[in-house]
Amino acid sequence: MAALVFDLDGTLIDSAPDIHLAANAALSEEGVPTLTLAEARDCVGHGAAIFVSRAMALRGLGDDPALHRRILDGFLGRYEGAVHLTRPYPGVPEALDALRGAGHRLALCTNKPAAPTRAVLSHLGLDALFDPVICGDSLPQRKPHPAPLHAAVAGAGGGPAIYVGDSEVDAETALAATLPFLLFTEGYRKTPVAELPHTRTFDRFSALPGLVAELLA
């Protein structure tokens, strides 16, 4: 049995449509041209503040701390309720149930703030599956620093552990934490798979229980 730690956005759920909607409302409020869905997806990964910084850079706004603060506040004010367009990737609930049935302990490690994390997990009926849930504001450090991942493993009881994610941030985090990394290739990754450190890849969640069993054998 192992502690299996999951990233959230782009790994278990496709939340980009909701994030896109919340971000564009905040940008429009400040008279800033809105993002395309692809641009919003590319901004995800390092937490809300960096999401806004990336969005501002895409619109040529440079470094304006006051504008950044207003957009971030507007974004965060909408983020917690931004759940209605978000869906789990196909096969996620079934794979999580199979892994729990095999005796594995499931934890979450995301750079998403705690309030929207809890809201979307509850909305999707996934909130009872993970213990602990380590979010972007749970610790002073965020991924790719290894501390949040280490905290998730410890909170899940320690022992053998595997990290499951989709992005460059996740690959870097797993490397820093010296944990095996299973890369979901259908998420928000921008870098070619071959250029990211990983232990195994998968493109369907139905394959995940078998991959975990293979790594632990």
Tokens describing residue 134:
């380590």
What is d(CA 152, CA 155) in angstroms, rounded to the nearest whole number? 5
Q: Is 203 a catalytic residue?
A: no
Tokens describing residue 124:
């999707």
∠ CA 30-34-35, nearest 5°, is 140
Judge whether 153 and 171 are in contact, CB under 8 Å: no
Phi-psi region at 88: left, alpha or beta (left = phi > 0; alpha = psi -120 to 50) = beta
Q: Hey, which residues are catalytic here? A: 7
